[in-house]
Structure 1
Amino acid sequence: MAELVQRLRRAGTSARLSKEAFHKLSAVLTMLILIMVFSIGNGAFLSVNNGLTILLQTAVIGILGIGMTMVIITGGIDLSVGSVLALSGTVTGMLVKAGVPVVPAMFGGVLMGATCGVINGLIVTKMRITPFVATLGMMLIARGTALQLTGAAPISQLGEAFGVLGNGSLFRIVEMQANGFPRVVFPGIPYPVILLAVVALVVSYLLRRRPLGRHIYATGSSEEAARLSGVNTDRTKILAYAMSGALAGLAGVVLMSRLITAQPNEGVMYELDAIAAAVIGGASLMGGVGNISGTMIGAFIIGILRNGLNMSGVSSFVQQIIIGVVVILAVYIDQLRSRR
């Protein structure tokens, strides 16, 4: 009997892995098709500079998507990440303006995001309010706080050091020409892209190799069964929301560093891009399913889609319509997969 149970478990795991692999492969094919479509008649799309632009645009979406994936796996949702991004970036800018060194100020912004995430987790677990309503409330609170702190005005003149994280790059090669002007031989790997890769590797290791990751999957698969197995589901949810908030804060720091200005109005609708990246990458809104590599593919699909539409001259309003359709289709496919 025990052997039969083990065989059934192995068969279930094998089927789940094959489904994940198929979904990931289909997402990769979708990304390649988008690249082919946008590159037809537009040679600049495949240029090195445009590729780096896509990487930079995807970095923020990817970091948000990683945090969103952890929350979605628990069976929740976090609608506040865009507003928390703005609040964290604003707090960072205010700290720098007050004379705090750049690095500690950036850590302060990430801490602000983590605090918002912890509050989300406490509301969901202790007050028993649904994640949709809890994080919707935090979305309004964080955005209103950012606007109130700054009077809805951007915080500028933050210094060159503040822009290093968002605009710097590794292995950048510049040579001086005979006329005395510099020429960029290789633009380098942008720091936000390196940061995204590090975050993706760390969180992927956490989900797959550490007890907390197993608890996150167990909570999303069946919260009651996880609780009966000894998992502290409330603690697991709070940690998931805290990490989502911290990563939203990190994304805010990166974005404001790119702008070298703290903008309290930034991050509007970013939560939809994060949700779309996670769901396109295979995360299930029913909980218990999702992985970071899939979310990265989903983030690049969103980034390529936005970049290609911009280069094709499509208005931002039409882009919103297209992204909205993509979100609906991704959720519909997720529902079909859950029914099967």
Structure 2
Amino acid sequence: MVEFFAQLRARGASFRLSKGAFHRISAILTVLILIVIFSVASPAFSSTNNAMTILLQTSVIGMLGIGLTLVIITGGIDLSVGSVLALAGTVTGLVIKAGVPVLPAMFIGVAVGALCGLINGFVVTKMRITPFVATLGMMMMARGVALELTGAAPVSRLGESFSILGQGRLFRIVGEGPHGLPSVVFPGIPYPAILLLLVALSVAYLLRRRATGRHIYATGSNEEAARLAGVKVDRTKIIAYTLSGALAGLAGIVLMSRLGTAQPNEGVMYELDAIAAAVIGGASLMGGVGTIGGTIIGAFIIGILRNGLNMAGVSSFIQQIIIGFVVIVAVYIDQMRNRR
């Protein structure tokens, strides 16, 4: 078993130094090119306010993408994260309306997401149902539960304390403008962006420094070899799906807090953006390959694309076409990389 992990680390190191490093560099260059193009097209794009807006908008997709990266590395997929996001946010809102303090209510929301992920992992590993079908079923059930609990109506009047996480900012500076009116000197770093950084660092540490992370990579690289080496493959997959569900729950709370209301219809198609972020960032749908840093870069590529196209007046339908094309190109590049 020791030799197996030593060989796995050696192969992983070699891969990261060649193909992995090249992929991350190309993704960063893509971000820089997009920034230059949109800055030329609209001077307002490069403003500090818009940069903070992109950080805020990217945080939710980034959290979903991190959870999906764990699942994709194991060789699976999770189509339910958008619906789990809505369910967790809705449950949090309902619990707050019932009189529970905001912080415990948010923990309950994350727990609901983790429970959905745990069920996904159980169905995939114990019932031997393919991840696509298992998570597709959870996608439908979670959305249905959210709509049933709320009667398809938003849960509002949750109080100002609920909105602090999604709307608060760190280092916000307000000065005195013309005629004595307040003027924003620096809009501040959104709390969701800071939370995304903490989540990314924690999960990256899990993948790089903990045995669970090595097991996740081993399971996706060669499940049978990992099992023979003593890895508890089913347990590893369940952990990955549970973490994906928990992060979807956290993303749901952040999104609902930003909106100020719990919307059961939120999160539609978010799973596709999250998958796109992971794939653009270098995660292989074949399993065994992927990094948190790459996923964050992929999330920013999508966020910058959406923001820049919005500022350019491009319709949301055309945006979907463009992002879909980007995903196809990213998957094609991944397939070519695997063949070589």
- State the Cα distance separating 1:329 from its structure 2 match: 1.5
Cα displacement (A) at 1:248: 0.2
1:40 is paired with a residue whose SS is helix
Contact 2:115–2:242 at 8 Å: present in 1 too? yes
Residue pair 2:41, 2:312 contacting (<8 A) in 1 also: no
**What is the correspondence of 1:125-136 to structure 2 with a 5 Å cutoff?**
125-136=125-136
Q: Distance in 2 between matches of 1:262 and 1:336?
A: 43
Q: Is the 8 A contact 2:24 2:294 kept in 1?
A: yes
Q: Which residue of 2 aligns with 1:79?
A: 79
- Distance, in Å, in 2 between the alignment partners of 1:10 and 1:130 is 31
**1:254-333 map, 5 Å:** 254-333=254-333
**What is the CA–CA distance in structure 1 between the aligned matches of 2:46 and 2:176, rounded to whole Å?**
26
Distance (whole Å) between structure 2 residues aligned to residue 72 and residue 236 of structure 1: 13
> Contact 2:8 / 2:218 at 8 angstroms: preserved in 1?
no
Cα 1:150–1:230 change in 2 (3 A) is same
TM-score by length of 1: 0.96
Q: Please list the CA deviations of residues 13-32 of structure 1 after superposition, one character each: whole Å capped at 9, or x if unmatched.
A: 32443110000001111111
Q: CA deviation at 1:317?
A: 1.1
Question: Letter of the aligned partner of 1:317 in structure 2?
Answer: F
In structure 1, C-alpha distance between the alignment counterparts of 2:332 and 2:138, rounded to whole Å:
27
Gap regions ≥5 residues in structure 2: 1-5
| 1:127–1:171 distance in 2 versus 1, CA, 3 Å | same
- The one-letter code of the counterpart of 2:31 is M
Kindly state the Cα deviation for residue 179 of structure 1 after the two structures are TM-superposed: 4.2
Q: Deviations over 1:85-138 (max 9, x none)?
A: 000000011011111111111111100000000000000000000000000000
Gaps of 5+ in 1: 1-5
Match of 1:98 in 2: 98
Q: Deviations over 1:19-64 (max 9, x none)?
A: 1000000111111111111111310000001101100011001000
Letter in 1 for 2:124: V
Counterpart for residue 250 of structure 1: 250
Q: Separation in 2 of the partners of 1:53 and 1:335?
A: 34
2-side partners of 1:9 and 1:253: how far apart?
Answer: 36
Q: TM-score, normalised by structure 2?
A: 0.96
1:9 Cα deviation after fit: 7.8
Cα distance in structure 1, aligned partners of 2:287 and 2:174: 48
How far apart are the structure 1 equivalents of 2:51 and 2:116?
Answer: 34
Distance between the aligned counterparts of 1:7 and 1:110, measured in 2? 37
| Cα 1:126–1:47 shift into 2, 3 Å | same
Question: What do the CA deviations read for 1:245-264 (whole angstroms, capped 9, x no partner)?
Answer: 00000000000000000000
Mapped partners of 1:177, 1:12: distance in 2: 55
Percent of paired sites with the same residue = 76
Residues paired across the two proteins, number: 336
